């Protein structure tokens, strides 16, 4: 048997790869405006009456959800998020209550309640309003 030769590479023995630079030269960007979403009024923080509901069954409709939440206060708007292809619920929704007190009451009494055999969670939404849907199918048509 012949002994195996161990090869060691030191920082001097290996030439580092050349640094690549882009051939295009773009002008420097002005940094006067921040691209933060928090400054846009549509992305403002939740005033407290918008709720985020998770754990929904795929069979839950907007009217089912409105009926369930109207027991604790006046529902201003209800939107169950649907899958665009199957038109079934994706398992979560947003509800805007008439007042912050109604929303707090819903969180207190309806969080971890059962709706159509599923345990739902109710919490304050992180944003004032939902995101606008993106045109997901446009890039497939090229």
Pairwise CA distance, residues 63 & 126, whole Å: 24
3-state secondary structure of 83: coil
CATH number for 91: 3.30.70.330
Tens of pLDDT along 56-86?
999 999 999 999 999 999 999 999 999 889 9
| 118 falls within a domain | yes
The pLDDT tens digits of the residues spanning 72-130 come to: 999 999 999 998 899 899 999 999 999 999 999 999 999 999 999 999 999 999 876 65
Q: Tell me, yes or no, whether 91 lies in a domain.
A: yes
Asked whether residue 141 is assigned to any structural domain, the reply reads no
Note whether residue 35 is domain-resident.
no
Range of the domain at 120: 49-124
Output the CA–CA distances (angstroms, integers) from residue 52 to 1, 18, 37, 96, in the order listed. Answer: 70, 51, 20, 9
Do the domain assignments include residue 135? no
Please identify which residue in the block is written with the tokens 């199918």. Answer: 137
**pTM for the whole structure:** 0.62
Instruction: Provide the domain count of the chain.
Output: 1
Confidence of residue 31 (pLDDT cuts 50, 70, 90): low
Asked, for residue 57, whether it belongs to a domain, the answer is yes
CA–CA distance, 141 with 44 (Å, rounded to integer): 34
Q: Are 122 and 114 in contact (CB under 8 A)?
A: no
């Amino acid at each position: 048997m012949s002994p195996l030769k161990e090869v060691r590479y030191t920082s001097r023995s290996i030439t580092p790869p050349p640094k690549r630079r882009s051939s295009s030269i773009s002008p420097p960007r002005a940094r006067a405006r921040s691209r933060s979403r928090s400054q846009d009024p549509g992305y403002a923080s939740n005033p407290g009456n918008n709720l985020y509901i998770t754990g929904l069954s795929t069979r839950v409709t907007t009217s089912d959800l409105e009926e369930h939440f109207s027991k604790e206060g006046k529902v201003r708007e209800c939107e169950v998020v649907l899958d665009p292809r199957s038109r079934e619920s994706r398992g979560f929704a947003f509800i805007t209550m008439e007042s912050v007190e109604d929303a707090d009451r819903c969180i207190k009494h309806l969080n971890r309640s059962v709706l159509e055999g599923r345990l739902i969670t109710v919490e304050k939404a992180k944003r004032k309003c939902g995101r606008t849907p993106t045109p997901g199918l446009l890039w497939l048509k090229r």
